[in-house]
């Protein structure tokens, strides 16, 4: 694994040291007035600042590539570490796109968040159809899950600093999500997943990850209770990932600080893992100001607690956001627009990192 110290050293060595090929030519104009990037500003509060990466854009879009390299100290695969991508046919692995992202990250002194080992979405068709038609029974399903987690974590052993081991396993009311995993294996699949991941890479920090768990509510309390129970049983759960998919039409979750503090008190890490703040289109100055405020409030909550060590946005440019395809009429959720022009939300994060750097003794 790239040490955090190395990541910081590379970042401090400045963007000039980055080997970006054609991307390097595109960077200076857009970076005029932005000599300090988010990743360099995040060094003092000792925070990794991350983005989800669309690997197709990384391959094809030089300005995108330049910003991934210069602005962030952590990357998350938006899709290419998910099960449907890494094992499209049973027993046939395809790590190619994920490996390319990991080598990009290593070249640019970045850490990699692993996303995600177990989810109810983006499962390979051979698996869901085998369960549906009964050709994969419960015993075999458990063995398949064990092998998937073991093989994927082993493949990236030493290269991933935090894994989202289980993703979105609770409903809003705090009951377990009625997924294929719960239906076939019962709730013990969660503890098993953590034990198997830990056995495959004992140094990676293992996270649960979900949305709508920013503040104190039924869902985040279910996570808290589960984490407490699993840790008492010696299950290697080390963190809660808080996605942070917000929408300015809803109120900002007010007790984020209290929520993070209670996980801190359990000795767990926290991480903001997938932040974006959407709005009804078209964007205007008022909406963008509110969006900036929400990004900043999440950042301030993170730097206020000891255990929050990474802050990841779910893509940084509106050019590649998942939001418009899912929420009709909404978008503009990221910190840069489609042309990589920095929005007020970018400035708010930069200001927040500067303010955090001026304070002392976070860690
Ligand atoms: O890979 C296929 C490609 O072969 C095909 O040609 C193309 C045609 O539409 O689709 C491609 O798959 C798409 C995939 O993204 C990769 O681009 C899927 O249709 C699309 O549904 C998928 O969306 C992703 C979504 O998860 C799936 O649920 C988004 O990009 C990704 O941002 C989103 O991320 C999730 C996190 O993993 C978990 N938390 C919520 C977050 C937002 O939904």
Condensed to tens digits (0 to 9), the pLDDT of residues 271-291 reads: 999 999 999 999 999 999 999
- How does 306-331 read in b/e, with b if 16+ C-beta sit within 10 Å? ebbbbbbbbbbbbbbbbbeeebeebb
Higher per-residue confidence, 19 vs 199: 199
The mean predicted confidence, pLDDT, of the chain is: 91
Between 332 and 24, the higher pLDDT residue: 332
Q: Which residues contact 358 (CB under 8 A, 6 or more apart)?
A: none
**Closest Cα to atom 42, ligand 1: which residue?**
322
pTM: 0.92
To the query of whether residue 140 is one of the catalytic residues in this protein, the response is: no
Please report which helix (H) or strand (E) contains residue 55, including its range. Answer: helix 55-60
pLDDT band at residue 360 using 50, 70 and 90 as cut-offs: low
Query: Could you report the per-residue pLDDT of 110-133, keeping only the tens digit for each?
Result: 999 999 999 999 999 999 999 999
Question: Tens digits of per-residue pLDDT, 155-188?
Answer: 999 999 999 999 999 999 999 999 999 999 999 9
Report the pLDDT value the prediction gives residue 79, as an integer from 0 to 100: 98
- What pLDDT score was predicted for residue 239? 97
Q: How far is the CA of 84 from the centre of ligand 1 (A)?
A: 11
Per-residue pLDDT tens for 239-258? 999 999 999 999 899 899 99
Cα(276)–Cα(336) distance, rounded to whole angstroms?
11
Question: What average pLDDT does the segment 83-89 reach?
Answer: 98
Three-state DSSP class for 110?
coil
For the question of residue 274 being annotated catalytic, the response is yes
For 115, the 3-state DSSP assignment is strand
Domains of the chain: 44-359 (3.20.20.80)
> Per residue in 7-34, pLDDT tens?
433 443 333 333 333 333 333 334 545 5
Q: Which tokens in the block code for residue 343?
A: 């929005």
List, for residues 134-157, the tens digit of each pLDDT value.
999 999 999 999 999 999 999 999
CA of residue 229 to ligand 1 center, whole Å: 33
Contacts of 73 (CB under 8 A, 6+ apart): 7, 8, 11, 39, 42, 48, 49, 50, 109, 110, 111
State yes or no: pLDDT of 41 exceeds 70: yes
User: What Å distances lie between residue 237 and 160, 187, 197, 282, CA to CA?
Assistant: 16, 15, 10, 42
From 71, 78, 152, 168, active-site residue: 168
pLDDT at 206: 98
pLDDT, residue 186, reads: 98
- Cβ–ligand 1 distance for 249 under 6 Å, the answer no
Q: Does the pLDDT value for residue 268 go beyond 80?
A: yes
Mean pLDDT of 78-99: 98
User: Cβ(322) to ligand 1 under 6 A?
Assistant: yes
Considering only CA atoms, give the Rg of the chain: 20
In this predicted structure, the answer to whether residue 2 has a pLDDT above a threshold of 80 is no
């Amino acid at each position: 694994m790239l040490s955090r110290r190395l990541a910081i050293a590379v970042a401090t060595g400045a963007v000039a040291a980055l080997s970006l090929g054609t991307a390097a030519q595109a960077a200076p104009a857009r970076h005029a007035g932005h000599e300090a990037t988010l990743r360099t500003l995040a060094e003092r509060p000792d925070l990794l600042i991350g983005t989800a990466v669309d690997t197709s854009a990384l391959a094809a879009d030089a300005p995108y590539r330049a910003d991934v390299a210069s602005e962030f100290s952590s990357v998350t695969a938006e899709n290419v570490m998910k099960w449907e991508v890494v094992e499209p046919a049973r027993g046939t692995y395809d790590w190619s796109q994920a490996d390319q992202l990991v080598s990009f990250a290593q070249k640019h002194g970045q850490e990699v968040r692993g996303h995600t080992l177990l989810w109810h979405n983006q499962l390979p068709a051979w698996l869901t159809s085998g369960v549906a038609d009964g050709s994969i029974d419960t015993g075999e399903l458990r063995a398949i899950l064990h092998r998937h987690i073991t093989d994927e974590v082993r493949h990236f052993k030493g290269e991933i600093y935090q894994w989202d081991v289980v993703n979105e396993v609770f409903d809003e009311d705090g009951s377990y999500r009625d997924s294929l995993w719960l239906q076939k294996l019962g709730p013990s699949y969660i503890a098993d997943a953590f034990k198997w991941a830990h056995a495959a890479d004992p140094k990676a920090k293992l996270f649960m990850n979900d949305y709508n768990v920013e503040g104190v509510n039924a869902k985040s309390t279910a996570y808290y209770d589960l984490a407490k129970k699993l840790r008492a049983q010696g299950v290697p759960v080390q963190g809660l990932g808080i996605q942070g998919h917000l929408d300015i039409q809803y109120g900002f979750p007010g007790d984020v600080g209290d929520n993070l503090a209670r996980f801190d008190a359990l000795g767990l890490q926290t991480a903001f893992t997938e932040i974006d703040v959407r709005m009804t289109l078209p964007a205007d100055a008022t909406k963008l100001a509110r969006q900036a405020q929400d990004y900043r409030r999440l950042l301030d909550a993170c730097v206020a607690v000891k255990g929050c060590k990474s802050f990841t946005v779910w893509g940084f440019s509106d050019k590649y956001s998942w939001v418009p395809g899912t929420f009709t009429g909404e978008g503009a959720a990221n910190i840069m627009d489609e042309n990589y022009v920095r929005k007020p939300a970018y400035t708010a994060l930069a200001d927040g990192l500067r303010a955090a750097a001026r304070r002392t003794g976070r860690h």
